[in-house]
Chains A and B, each alone.
Chain A
Amino acid sequence: MSLLRLDGITRRFGGLVAVDNVSLEIPAQHLSAIIGPNGAGKTTLFNMIAGFARPSAGRVHFDGDEITGLAPEAIARRGLIRTFQLVQLFEGLTVLENVKVGCHLHTRGGLLAALLPTRAARAEEALVESEARQLLAETNLEAQAETLAAALPYGQKRLLEITRALAARPRLLLLDEPAAGLNRQETDLLAALLRRIVDSGTAILLIEHDMSLVMNVADEIAVLDFGRLIARGKPDEVRRNSDVIAAYLGSAEVADA
């Protein structure tokens, strides 16, 4: 059964149809990608899945339950965690604290735990600390644990946002152009990280307009153009699809490159 299912999702802004009747199934245990040129409606589609925008029509199901129109935090609670195209870190917090915020959903402490360091409260805090440090070790950010997030170089900011999302223990991770602004080497490291995440059981859906990352790591690719789904399949199939070549790549030369 699919983990995420979109049925006829549509979003209109006045006369403009940003996302037009998109139906798509995203399986568990897979790294799926949605590609399309800038302005194809990818981020709008993402916003509707994660609750940041309401669909004008259509339904979203996650793990069998309808989540259409739920608040972002309610959708996150179900295990669907997103990142942002423009990195959204808590800049005044350290790298470690950012990841600790990611642990919010699977911890409980409230005001009482904040005021009285009971045994339970301290145990939970110790757990959060070790979990956050372990995640930072996995993404090679441990040396920066005490650095303010604002002071990180750009590539590491992107990495931190993904690390923080992982701390929320997502079942499906939505990544909005995770490779944007990364250099070649950083993109390769990112690809390897994404593969490790999927292999450990977390499904990923990412959107990109940069083809190189997607073609390397995705199990399944869907292609969006002017808000419409024009193709889907394995990377090789998509690469050879004549509609994709015409609409997205523009010319056959790019596809051969």
Chain B
Amino acid sequence: MNSLISIWADRRANWVTFALWGLATAFVAYVFVAGGYLITVLQFALIYTVLVTGLNVFMGFTGQVSFGHNAFAAIGGYSSAVLAATYGWEPLPAGLVGLAGSLIVAFIIGYPVLRLRGHYLAMATLAIGLIVYEVAVQWQSVTQGYMGISGIPPIGIGRWSIMSDRGLLAFLLLAAALALLSAAGIRRSRLGRAFVAAAGSEDAARALGIDVARYKLIAFMISAAYASIAGSLFAYTVGFVSPEVFGLQMVVLAFTMLYVGGLGTVTGPALGAIIISVLPESFRAFKDYQDLAYGAALIVILIYAPRGLASLPDLWGKWRRRTA
């Protein structure tokens, strides 16, 4: 709870902070009451909140780049799908197997790759995503190739499972809240400071005794864990996985959410995930020009809030000081 309070009591918080949170809360409440198609949109946004929060630990806090986190979402999603749908496992242990698998893969890949810097690291992570995609396509006996796996049971324990859309929405809200809280906890801890130090200056971090290579690997594994959980949540929420679900599109979407929300901020991933999920829907009236309007809106956001929506309170504070 400590970290939740500290999100609210941010020293730079002002009415814009509360307005953002108020809007988000009002939107969630509205969707709960109104129901319908928006429930699916919001469920999707909450799953992405978990994924992007993890990506933010690696990219925002630790200052690295990964184009391959869809790989870990795929490992989590496929483990859950295969074990639960094909072998009749319980959702929780199936998801945990995916989590363990993702951590192992993240370790094996991260250990050598994280010694690379800049473009090399980015290229290597891109390769991970492509490899896992190919495995999902080719390993037909397990993954059913392009067809994907359907008939994944909903989330639940034993005889209890969450069948209703609203119940699932509540569950995903809880999951997204836990993701944000844990990220806030990490950011404020010794671990998070080591991450941010490595991002700020590797040399200075090492000179203070921080084993930068080790902390990059830890950040990579933590972010892979979030991605894996997001993948499992997706499988149980939608009931279907396929290679396309965890394709490059997922990376593009996660990046957009991260940058629009605010790279390196705690709340940015949630704001970005919700806005990017809702924005295309709200331009539906533009019909043929929907994509154009969506693209224009993104550009406007990134021009006027280059550090993301989470930086709006800061921008407002600066503007106030300048005009005061």
Contact = CB atoms under 8 A, between A and B. Distances in A.
Q: Are A and B genuine complex partners?
A: yes
Given A93-B196, A110-B191, A125-B189, A88 B203 contact: yes
A113 B191 contact: yes
Given A92-B196, A111-B218, A111-B222, A50 B189 contact: no
Interface of B: 2-3, 11, 182, 185-186, 188-194, 196-197, 199-201, 203-212, 218, 222, 264
Contact of A109 (B189, B200, B208): B189
Contacts of A105: 208-209
B200 A100 contact: no
17 contacts: A52-B207, A71-B211, A76-B207, A76-B209, A77-B209, A88-B203, A89-B201, A93-B193, A93-B200, A104-B193, A104-B208, A111-B218, A113-B190, A117-B3, A125-B189, A165-B208, A168-B209
B191 A109 contact: yes
Contacts of B200: 89-93
A73 B211 contact: yes
Interface string A67-84: 000011100110001111
Contacts of A124: 190
A128 to B, nearest CB: 7
A204 to B, nearest CB: 15
B163 to A, nearest CB: 31
Contact of B194 (A88, A101, A117): A101
A52 B202 CA distance: 11
Q: For the complex, would chain B's binding face be called helix, strand, loop or mixed by DSSP majority?
A: helix
Q: Give the 5 A-B residue pairs with the shortest CB-CB distance, closest first.
A: A90-B200, A114-B189, A76-B209, A88-B204, A105-B209
A134 interface: no
A97 B206 CA distance: 16
A84 B275 CA distance: 42
Nearest to A124: B190
Contacts of A91: 200
A97 B218 contact: no
Contact of B205 (A101, A107, A109, A111): A101
Contacts of B264: 92
B208 A101 contact: yes
Given A91-B200, A93-B196, A104-B193, A115 B205 contact: no
A90 B193 CA distance: 10
A90 B206 contact: no
A163 B276 CA distance: 43
Given A88-B201, A92-B200, A111 B191 contact: yes
Contacts of B188: 114
A124 B190 CA distance: 10
A164 interface: yes
A102 interface: yes
Nearest to B225: A111
A72 B205 CA distance: 9
Given A76-B208, A97-B196, 6 more contacts: A52-B207, A73-B210, A92-B264, A107-B190, A115-B185, A165-B208
A164 B201 CA distance: 14
Interface string A140-183: 00000010000000000000010011001000000000000000
